[in-house]
Amino acid sequence: MPFAVIQSGGKQHRVEPGQTIEVERLPLEEGQTVEISEVLLVSDENGLRHGRPLVEGAKVVGRVVKQTKGPKIIVFKYKPKVRYRRKMGHRQQVTRIAIDEIVTS
């Protein structure tokens, strides 16, 4: 099974065709095609290839499934003996992408 390691939003993801991943929000509508050209590593029938830093001519093609929010993160600040407590929450905007194919040249 071919796979690739891509970089999106400052994070690295290992992807395969048919897989669904969540990346930081991309300015695209649902159903649009996404081409990610920041491919760090590709494994296919020809073997394993890694880039310095990117693999030349490789890209990952997918489509946007949904624009949504990630899980809620609780941020709690606390100082003992002075009754200081602050509780805040945060939900990151994410884009869910279905990977269609890995293109190498």
Q: Give 10-residue mean pLDDT values along the chain (105 residues).
A: 93 96 96 96 91 93 97 97 97 97 90
User: What count of other Cβ atoms lies within 10 Å of the Cβ of residue 16?
Assistant: 14
Q: What is the pTM of this model?
A: 0.84
Contact in structure between 64 and 96 (CB atoms under 8 Å): yes
Return the residue matching tokens 């310095």. 52
The predicted structure's pLDDT at residue 95: 97
Domain count, the chain: 1
Q: Which domain holds residue 70?
A: 3-103
